[in-house]
């Protein structure tokens, strides 16, 4: 029975299979990986790099490892340099946050990785110089607040975001919905002169932004600035030497543009003068000489007609004349005056003829030519005359004097303006009824002479100028020369061009230029051979031209590197972007503390002519190499310092062993700052070869070239170890160590660093066969700052002086043998 059932079941299965067909094999399904919010995200599927969206069929039951690369960055914007969009995995659409994760494919599956998105924000300013904080990565759609800071010499103008002008809102709120390049644009400040004047009289109280001044008042204002101007009203002054105390009263009427607001706000967009017209009253004092009545005081409006007379018993006196502000106006009665100033009026009655002193002087200077009664004198001069005497006084006008050693011949000019009683007659007749002093008020002018060195440039502004005026001088461009600095009355006035000079005396203004290209102006130096004096004054020794050479005869330089002296980093670096060829790499920027010197060390395939054609490039030099100029003794303690007696140095120590107030900078190969014989000598320095603060020389020996030089200058002395320094280190000197023997750019950087950090002496035991205009500019910068520079002339023994010792501003130091030869 069981066999029948089994046979039946088998037959049934066979029939079913025949009717339905055989199975087609294992099933397959599609696995899809997507990312939000963006596609194109890097993923790893079974260790193979893929990009979303990703789809692939797998047999049922296959386990696939999927990993989202996180974080990952890519470049999506042309406005921001490099990668500017960052994606960070957050979780899968099924809330799973495993990454990587294994997925078993049992059906068609879609998994979406949800990514956090950040965009890069770049901030800068145009021109460069302002630091706009807020650059970096920011979450998508975040609001970023950016502030354009104040920048000296400039005013914030507007924002440019991804090339679009967003006007001048400051601070600016930026929605970070894509990568952002945000530039704060500034415009140079423009300055104008605001001048306040009062009429009819000057020297009245005016105010600018509440600060009290005396009119006329000029002030330099930033263009576009708003200022509050006013004149005090009422106000009163003592303006006349003939009256004691307040003799003038003023009330404000209106400004010269008819505006009656006081105070008023004005916006300064050009040089402008505002005149406050005042209603004026003047005091008139009336007395009698001798005293016959009490002095009468009257106030009258300016311009009014005033009459005065007297009556009554005069006793023993007869009326003689009216004396008005010291001037005899005759005896006509009544006295009529137009009130244009304060007046002291005396009715003079005569009973006797006393003597009075007449003094004639000049202002602002004395010792000028005057005359009294036809006789010539130098001011001041006093003469005694009887009462009622008339005479004539005068001052020579114009008259010139030689007052300055800086300007040839007569350099100061005086021109008569008026007398101290406002009388403008010259000469004038006066009648003396009291002791009187008449002062001739002179217009003072000084002569300005202009020159250039070397000659050839015409400097405008020469001639006579009123004392106290400000004159601008401009050094014009010259084809073969570059402007260097101004010398005014023998003193270096810096390199500002143009330069504003206050004419407070005669001026000799010289624009100094330097040759646009380096030139050897010294010629060849031939070594001396023959008989020379030795240490013993009675002995002679024969000196021969020995062949000692530590520096190549032919100048060597770093190929493809140039030093550009520029007027502006921003302008010349902007030109780099369009230069042909466009391969100018900025290696280093070098700038003096006062901004007078700016250099850029560049690496490029361009030639010197192409670089000289760039905007803002003043001159171009090769980056020449320089070398240490000394040998290092093998004996670490230097026991035999024979050169000190040769220099008579021990005798000098009887007077001083140095001072800590003397700061010496050493530009050399490097230093052993922990050398026991140099403890406490060094201050902070810099390594311009490696651009860090480590000034140690990369050598195993502590006695490197720079350490040797430092020891010679300031080794600890009288301490029982090592050697003795020229100055006794520790308390005898301070040294700034500068690692900088390499090339021109490194040496220039070291020179500017030394000057700007207070060095008064710079030691350069180094040299090279070639100099450059850039290096000479740095040398002259140190010289202008009164820094003494000592440089090695050379160890080659060929008589040729190396650079920088060859520059006239340095002290070139040669060498002798142990026997003083």
**pLDDT over threshold 90, residue 193:** yes
What is the phi/psi pair of residue 707, to 5°?
A: -65, -40
What is the reported pLDDT for 409? 84
Q: Which residue has the higher pLDDT, 491 or 819?
A: 491
Choose among 776, 805, 800, 774: nearest CA to 789.
Answer: 805
**pLDDT over threshold 60, residue 518:** no
The span from the CA of 398 to the CA of 417, in Å, is: 10
Regarding beta strands 436-453 and 355-363, do their DSSP bridges make them parallel or antiparallel, or are they unpaired? parallel
The span from the CA of 357 to the CA of 750, in Å, is: 71
The span from the CA of 547 to the CA of 586, in Å, is: 41
Helix (H, G, I), strand (E, B) or coil at 208: strand
pLDDT tens for 740-754 read 888 989 999 999 999
The span from the CA of 727 to the CA of 661, in Å, is: 12
Q: Which position has the token pair 């340099």?
A: 81
The span from the CA of 553 to the CA of 523, in Å, is: 15
Q: Which residue has the higher pLDDT, 652 or 165?
A: 165
What is the reported pLDDT for 724? 52
Percent of the residues in the chain that have a pLDDT greater than 70, as a whole number: 83
Q: 21 falls in which pLDDT band (50, 70, 90)? A: very low
Q: Is there a contact between 43 and 51 (Cβ–Cβ < 8 Å)?
A: yes
Choose among 815, 787, 647: nearest CA to 724.
Answer: 647
What is the reported pLDDT for 528? 32
pLDDT tens for 317-348 read 778 899 999 999 999 999 999 999 999 999 98
What single-letter DSSP state applies at residue 678? G
Domain at 627-813: CATH code: 3.40.50.200
**pLDDT over threshold 50, residue 66:** yes
CA dihedral 553, 554, 557, 563 (to 10 degrees): 100
What single-letter DSSP state applies at residue 294? P
**pLDDT over threshold 60, residue 75:** yes
pLDDT tens for 387-414 read 888 999 999 999 999 999 888 889 999 9
Q: What does the chain come to in residues?
A: 821
Q: Is there a contact between 378 and 357 (Cβ–Cβ < 8 Å)?
A: no
- The three-point CA angle 600-601-605 to 5° equals 120
**pLDDT over threshold 50, residue 579:** yes
pLDDT tens for 703-754 read 468 777 877 776 555 454 555 556 655 555 778 999 988 898 999 999 999 9
Tell me how far the alpha carbon of residue 414 is from its chain's centroid. 38
Choose among 530, 494, 527, 524: nearest CA to 509.
Answer: 494
**pLDDT over threshold 50, residue 545:** no
Average pLDDT over residues 20-45: 85
Mean pLDDT of the chain: 85
> Where exactly does CATH 2.60.40 map onto the chain?
28-117
Choose among 440, 198, 423: nearest CA to 302.
Answer: 198
User: Is 28-117 CATH 2.60.40?
Assistant: yes
The span from the CA of 31 to the CA of 40, in Å, is: 17
> Where exactly does CATH 3.40.50.200 map onto the chain?
627-813
Cβ contacts of 441 within 8 Å, gap of 6 or more: 362, 363, 416, 417, 418, 419, 420
Rg (CA), the chain: 45
Q: 800 falls in which pLDDT band (50, 70, 90)? A: confident
**pLDDT over threshold 50, residue 538:** no
Beta partners for residue 413, in sequence order: 400, 445
Q: Which position has the token pair 């099933």?
A: 27
Q: Which residue has the higher pLDDT, 42 or 674?
A: 42
């Amino acid at each position: 029975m069981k066999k029948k059932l089994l046979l039946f079941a088998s037959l049934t299965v066979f029939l079913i299979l025949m009717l339905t067909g055989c199975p087609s094999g294992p099933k397959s399904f599609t696995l899809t990986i997507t990312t939000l919010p963006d596609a194109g995200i890097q993923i790893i599927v079974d260790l193979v790099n893929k990009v979303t969206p990703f789809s692939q069929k797998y047999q049922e039951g296959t386990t696939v490892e999927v990993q989202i690369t996180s974080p990952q960055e890519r470049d999506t914007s042309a406005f921001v340099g490099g990668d500017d969009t960052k994606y960070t995995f957050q979780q899968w659409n099924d809330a799973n946050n495993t990454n990587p994760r294994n997925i078993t494919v049992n059906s068609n599956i879609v998994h979406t990785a949800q990514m956090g998105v950040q965009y890069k924000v770049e901030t800068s300013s145009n021109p460069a110089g302002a630091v706009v904080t807020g650059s970096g990565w920011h979450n998508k759609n975040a609001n970023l607040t950016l502030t354009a800071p104040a920048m000296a010499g400039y005013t914030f103008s507007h924002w440019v975001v991804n090339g679009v002008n967003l006007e001048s809102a400051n601070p600016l709120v930026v929605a970070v919905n894509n990568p952002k390049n945000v530039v704060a644009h500034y415009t140079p400040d423009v300055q104008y002169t605001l001048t306040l004047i009062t009429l009819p009289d000057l020297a009245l109280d005016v105010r600018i932004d509440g600060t009290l001044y005396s009119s006329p008042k000029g002030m330099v204002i930033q263009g576009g600035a708003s200022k509050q101007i006013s004149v005090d009203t009422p106000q009163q002054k003592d303006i006349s030497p003939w009256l004691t105390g307040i003799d003038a009263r003023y009330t404000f009427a209106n400004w010269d543009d008819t505006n009656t607001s006081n105070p008023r706000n004005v916006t300064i967009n050009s040089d402008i003068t505002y005149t406050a017209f005042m209603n004026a009253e003047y005091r008139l004092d009336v007395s009698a000489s001798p005293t016959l009545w009490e002095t009468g005081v009257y106030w009258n409006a300016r311009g009014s007609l005033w009459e005065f007379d007297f009556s009554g018993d005069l006793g023993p006196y007869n009326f003689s004349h009216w004396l008005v502000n010291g001037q005899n106006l005759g005896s006509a009665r009544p006295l009529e005056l137009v009130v244009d100033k304060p007046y002291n009026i005396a009715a003079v009655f005569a009973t006797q003829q006393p003597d009075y002193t007449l003094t004639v002087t000049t202002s602002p200077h004395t010792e000028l030519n005057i005359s009294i009664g036809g006789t010539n004198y130098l001011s001041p001069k006093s003469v005694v005359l009887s009462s009622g005497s008339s005479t004539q006084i005068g001052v020579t006008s114009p008259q010139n004097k030689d007052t300055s050693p800086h300007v040839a011949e007569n350099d100061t000019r005086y021109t008569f303006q008026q007398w101290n009683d406002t009388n403008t007659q010259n000469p004038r007749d006066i009648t003396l009824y009291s002791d009187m002093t008449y002062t001739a008020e002179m217009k003072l002018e000084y002569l300005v002479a202009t020159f250039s060195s070397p000659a050839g440039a015409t400097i405008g502004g020469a001639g006579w100028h009123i004392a106290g005026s400000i004159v601008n001088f401009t050094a014009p461009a010259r084809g073969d020369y570059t402007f260097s600095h101004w010398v005014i009355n023998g003193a270096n006035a810096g390199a500002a061009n143009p330069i504003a000079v206050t004419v407070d005396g005669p001026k000799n203004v010289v624009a100094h230029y330097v040759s646009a290209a380096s030139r050897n102006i010294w010629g060849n130096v031939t070594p001396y051979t023959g008989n020379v004096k030795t240490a013993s004054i009675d002995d002679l020794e024969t000196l021969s031209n020995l062949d000692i050479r530590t520096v190549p005869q032919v100048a060597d330089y770093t190929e493809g590197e140039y030093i550009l002296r520029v007027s502006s980093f921003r302008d010349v670096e902007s030109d780099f972007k369009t230069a042909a060829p466009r391969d100018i790499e900025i290696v280093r920027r070098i700038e003096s503390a006062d901004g007078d010197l700016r250099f850029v060390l560049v690496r490029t395939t361009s030639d010197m002519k192409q670089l000289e054609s760039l905007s803002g490039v003043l001159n171009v030099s090769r980056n020449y190499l320089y070398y240490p100029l000394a040998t290092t003794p093998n004996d670490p303690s230097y026991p035999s310092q024979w050169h000190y007696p040769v220099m008579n140095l021990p005798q000098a120590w009887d007077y001083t062993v140095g001072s800590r107030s003397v700061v010496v900078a050493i530009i050399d190969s490097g230093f052993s700052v922990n050398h026991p014989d140099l403890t406490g000598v060094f201050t902070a320095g810099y390594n311009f070869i490696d651009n860090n603060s480590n000034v140690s020389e990369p050598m195993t020996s502590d006695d490197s070239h720079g350490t040797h030089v430092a020891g010679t200058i300031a080794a600890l002395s009288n301490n029982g170890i090592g050697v003795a320094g020229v100055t006794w280190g520790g308390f005898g000197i301070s040294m700034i160590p500068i690692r900088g023997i390499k090339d021109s750019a490194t040496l220039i950087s070291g020179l500017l660093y030394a000057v700007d950090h207070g060095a008064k002496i710079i030691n350069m035991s180094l040299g090279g066969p070639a100099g450059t205009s850039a290096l000479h500019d740095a040398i002259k910068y140190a010289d202008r700052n009164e820094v003494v520079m000592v440089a090695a002339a050379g160890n080659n023994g060929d008589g040729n002086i190396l650079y920088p010792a060859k520059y006239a501003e340095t002290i070139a130091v040669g060498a002798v043998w142990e026997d003083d030869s």
